[in-house]
Amino acid sequence: MKKPIAGFSKLSKSEKIEWIAANYTQNPQESKKILESYWNSDSRLQQLHDEFIENTISNFYMPMGIAPNFLINDRLYAIPMAIEESSVVAAASKAAKFWEGRGGFRTTVLGTEKVGQVHFIYHGSTPKLLDFFKNIKPTLLSEAEHLTQSMQKRGGGIKDIVLKDKTGELSNYYQLHCTFETQDAMGANFINSCLEQFAETLKKEALAHPDFSEQEKQLEVVMSILSNYVPNCLVKAEVRCPIDQLDLTQDISPRDFAEKMVRAVEIAKVEPYRAVTHNKGIMNGIDAVVLATGNDFRAIEAGAHAYAAKDGTYSSLTHAKIEGDLFSFWIEIPLAVGTVGGLTKLHPLVKLNLEILQQPSAVELMQIMAVAGLAQNFAAVSSLVTTGIQKGHMKMHLMNILNQHNATDKEKEAILAHFKTHTVTHRGVLNSLENLRK
């Protein structure tokens, strides 16, 4: 029976590895060898990685690729993508090349507002609370000035504070709904620091407010925290071209292709089971760029999926239409990202990837990420309505199967040639490998 351990965080990295290998793996020596093989040979670089998080024992590698030929607002980009899933980089690259010859991608940032909230419980008169808030709002702002001065110099800061009555959803529940502009920073630390200052001021002023009863003075701040739902930090990316230029394949006419694309998106708008997978494909492209640039893909995912459900049912994040002879395909998505702070100045690959992206501002990075998501979705949906998703996906998955079964370079060459004209299946690949080895 396994036993809990006290003081694990105080152990050295080698001691942590010894303990985890001995207590939770079947072959401790082999486990230690695997963990140590992923350490960086540069000790200073490895220490940098060790200090990103707590209790580190190794590095977890993920492939990083480049999707070239993205023409965005008449500027050409090669987009770094960090992802483990086969075909994502290839699909994005294919879509980028297709649209590069048709005017490229157009983007518009519709807003950059971020949100944080102070959640509190108040037992008393709502009109008295509203009057109290009006009186203390200038104090809330002034007592946070020591936190906002640097951000204000960069053009950011607190945009507004609004008192919201949420007692219809939860008894005695109110909130300070606060909006921020954080420029090129994602701004989580800045926002949370401001919110905690607002909470302190709120409690202090309530205790001193002469019109409050003793009960009303004892308002309870439950928590002060930013929100990853940022519907006003929004970007739009779009492609459009005459329908007769949609000549992706000889198997279907451009007009039929355009109509199928529109119908596929309409299905994703009304059918949540389809919409989830549809949007997952979008996030394949976006998350890969988020990871490569040191941003928080969990926050991006949460905000995007909340936005997809903003109208009361989960729906497609992309849209498509035909107007006369013109086909349009676009996405609107909230993306709160940063190009300063966090890992952007620490992680060597993140710094390099931002250089590859031509040192974008946060607003420019929003646009690049939205384009990556739109390209990925175009590639996936166009495959679904023509050849089917598996033909391309399994071709990319073929190499994973061969590596899993330790195929040699000669075996890979022969099997790759064979499956250029045959349908890829897991069993079929294994049979081919077995026949070669006989």
357-404 pLDDT tens trace = 999 999 999 999 999 999 999 999 999 999 765 555 566 667 778 888
- Distance (Å, rounded) from C-alpha 368 to C-alpha 357? 9
pLDDT interval class at 244 (50, 70, 90) = very high
Q: Are strands 173-181 and 220-227 parallel, antiparallel or unpaired?
A: unpaired
Q: What percent of the chain has pLDDT over 90?
A: 85
Amino acid at 131: D
Residue 114 Cα to chain centre, angstroms: 16
Name the average pLDDT for the chain: 94
* CB distance 178 to 230 below 8 Å: no
Q: Is 85 a catalytic residue?
A: yes
Q: Has residue 423 got a pLDDT over 80? A: no
Q: Write down the pLDDT at residue 413.
A: 82
The whole-number average pLDDT for the span 408-419 is 83
Q: Has residue 147 got a pLDDT over 60? A: yes
Q: Write down the pLDDT at residue 435.
A: 84
Neighbours of 434 (CB within 10 A): 10
- Distance (Å, rounded) from C-alpha 216 to C-alpha 2? 51
Q: HSE (CB half, 13 Å, CA atoms) of 218?
A: 4
Q: What percent of the chain has pLDDT over 70?
A: 98
Give me the residues paired with residue 225 across strands: 117
Q: Write down the pLDDT at residue 438.
A: 80
Q: Is 280 a catalytic residue?
A: yes
* CB distance 310 to 334 below 8 Å: no
Give me the residues paired with residue 386 across strands: none
Which of 6-15, 96-105, 205-214, 406-415 comes out lowest in average pLDDT?
406-415
Give the torsion sign (CA, 250, 386, 94, 105).
Answer: positive
Catalytic residue (one of 18, 50, 85, 100): 85
Q: Write down the pLDDT at residue 17.
A: 97
Q: What is the 3-state secondary structure (H, E, C) of the chain?
A: CCCCCCCHHHCCHHHHHHHHHHHHCCCHHHHHHHHHHCCCCCHHHHHHHHCCCCCCCCCCCCCEEEEEEEEECCEEEEEEEECCCCCHHHHHHHHHHHHHCCCCEEEEECCCCEEEEEEEECCCCHHHHHHHHHHHHHHHHHCCHHHHHHHHHCCCEEEEEEEEECCCCCCCEEEEEEEEECCCECCHHHHHHHHHHHHHHHHHHHHHCCCCCHHHHCCEEEEEEEECCCCCCEEEEEEEEEHHHCCCCCCCCHHHHHHHHHHHHHHHHHCHHHHHHHHHHHHHHHHHHHHHCCCCHHHHHHHHHHHHCCCCCCCCCEEEEEECCEEEEEEEEECCCCCECHHHHCCHHHHHHHHHCCCCCHHHHHHHHHHHHHHHHHHHHHHHCCCCHHHHHHHHHHHHHHHHCCCCHHHHHHHHHHCCCCCCCHHHHHHHHHHHHC
End-to-end C-alpha distance for the chain, whole angstroms: 46
148-172 pLDDT tens trace = 999 999 999 999 999 999 999 999 9
Q: Has residue 426 got a pLDDT over 90? A: no
* CB distance 92 to 376 below 8 Å: yes
Q: Write down the pLDDT at residue 315.
A: 98
248-290 pLDDT tens trace = 888 899 999 999 999 999 999 999 999 999 999 999 999 999 9
109-122 pLDDT tens trace = 999 999 999 999 99
The whole-number average pLDDT for the span 325-348 is 94
Residue identified by tokens 């598996």 is 390
pLDDT interval class at 424 (50, 70, 90) = confident
Q: Is 305 a catalytic residue?
A: no
Q: Write down the pLDDT at residue 239.
A: 98
The candidate with the shortest Cα–Cα distance to 238, out of 67, 73, 89, 91, is 73
Catalytic residue (one of 16, 114, 319, 393): 393
* CB distance 144 to 198 below 8 Å: yes
The top-scoring range by mean pLDDT among 93-102, 242-251, 403-412 is: 93-102
Q: Write down the pLDDT at residue 394.
A: 62
Catalytic residue (one of 159, 280, 305, 412): 280
The whole-number average pLDDT for the span 395-415 is 80
The pTM of the whole model exceeds 0.85: yes
Q: Has residue 38 got a pLDDT over 90? A: yes
Q: Is 100 a catalytic residue?
A: no
Which of 134-138, 178-182, 226-230, 422-426 comes out lowest in average pLDDT?
422-426
Which of 193-197, 331-335, 353-357, 417-421 comes out lowest in average pLDDT?
417-421
Neighbours of 299 (CB within 10 A): 20
Report the chain's C-alpha Rg in angstroms: 27
The whole-number average pLDDT for the span 190-198 is 98
List the 173-181 sheet strands across, edge first.
157-165, 173-181, 114-121, 220-227
Q: Has residue 210 got a pLDDT over 70? A: yes
Please list, in sequence order, all residues whose beta carbon lies within 8 angstroms of the beta carbon of residue 397, skipping any fewer than 6 positions away. Answer: 86, 87, 424
Q: Write down the pLDDT at residue 410.
A: 84
63-78 pLDDT tens trace = 999 999 999 999 999 9
The whole-number average pLDDT for the span 225-254 is 96
48-60 pLDDT tens trace = 999 999 999 999 9
The whole-number average pLDDT for the span 287-298 is 97
Catalytic residue (one of 114, 296, 319, 364): 296
Q: Has residue 104 got a pLDDT over 80? A: yes
